[in-house]
Amino acid sequence: MPRRGFLGSVGAGAAALGVANLVSPFRTVAKTFDEHKWTDTSDFDRWLGKIQGKHRQVFDSPAHRDGLPLAWVRVFLSTNNDTGIADSELCAVHILRHEAIPLAMDDKLWTKYKFGELFKVTDGATKAPAVRNPFWNPKPGELLLPDMSVDQLQKRGALFGVCDMAITVYTMNVAKEMKMDAADVKKEWIAGILPGIQLVPSGVLAVNRAQEHGCTYCFAG
């Protein structure tokens, strides 16, 4: 195919997949990349040290997909159990980045910042944009599989990390729209991260470090 035709096809395909929408938040805050500094990674390093067990897998989620990536983690654990492998020999690491970050946030943030509208998440019970985190402590039958919520997977030893870079980007955009201070919004979002979920410098960095700690890779976007 001629180069011009090939690039045109790629562009059309990207538009159809909504790729432009995936990267658009970063265009307005490119300058923040140089300001995004982590001077103390001790908590992050300790979290990485929890990656143990014979069978280790990192799930890379740049999108929430209505919770489908959580089902993949659940299936990884349950099918290993079916083959005689106990949870104690398994380690599932789930990195929530880009549009998957609301899975890591408490209900108060979902209500105040209208995450259901912002991230296009529908509440399975009300069929309206979610004003609570439907992936944390859900009611029976709300999710695709039983015991696939964040809290239930944590009870089985799954580790969750959420991208600080994505939080920085989205809070700047949200603050601008709501005429609030970006630093205050980011502080509130970080304070609202659910118990046991680790803030990581960036999702892509965390995926890399998890693999360096023995995890195989699974795209769960």
In this structure, how many other beta carbons lie within 10 angstroms of the beta carbon of residue 39? 4
Contact 71, 144 (CB under 8 A): yes
Which of the 8 DSSP states describes residue 65? G
Which of the 8 DSSP states describes residue 106? -
* Residue 16 belongs to a domain: no
Contact 124, 143 (CB under 8 A): yes
C-alpha distances in Å from residue 30, one per residue of 6, 21, 34, 72:
28, 16, 8, 32
Give alpha helix (H) positions in the chain.
3-17, 19-27, 42-48, 68-82, 107-112, 115-118, 150-155, 164-178, 182-191, 203-212
* CATH number of the domain where residue 70 is located: 3.40.1260.10
* Residue 141 belongs to a domain: yes
* Residue 33 belongs to a domain: no
130 conformational bin, left if phi > 0, alpha if psi -120 to 50, beta if neither: beta
Which of the 8 DSSP states describes residue 51? -
Residue 80 domain boundaries: 42-219
Number of domains in the chain: 1
pLDDT tens track, the chain, 221 positions: 444 443 444 344 434 434 344 445 555 555 555 556 888 999 999 999 999 999 999 999 999 999 999 999 999 999 999 999 999 999 999 999 999 999 999 999 999 999 999 999 999 888 899 999 999 999 888 899 999 999 999 999 999 999 999 999 999 999 999 999 999 999 999 999 999 999 999 999 999 999 999 999 999 98
* Residue 21 belongs to a domain: no
DSSP sequence for 147-186: T-SHHHHHHTT-EEEEEHHHHHHHHHHHHHHHT--HHHHH
Measured between alpha carbons, how far is 180 from 171 in angstroms, rounded to an integer? 10
* Residue 99 belongs to a domain: yes
* Residue 134 belongs to a domain: yes
* Residue 156 belongs to a domain: yes
Measured between alpha carbons, how far is 205 from 219 in angstroms, rounded to an integer? 15
Contact 51, 215 (CB under 8 A): yes
* Residue 69 belongs to a domain: yes
Single pTM value for the model: 0.86
Q: What is the pLDDT of residue 37?
A: 80
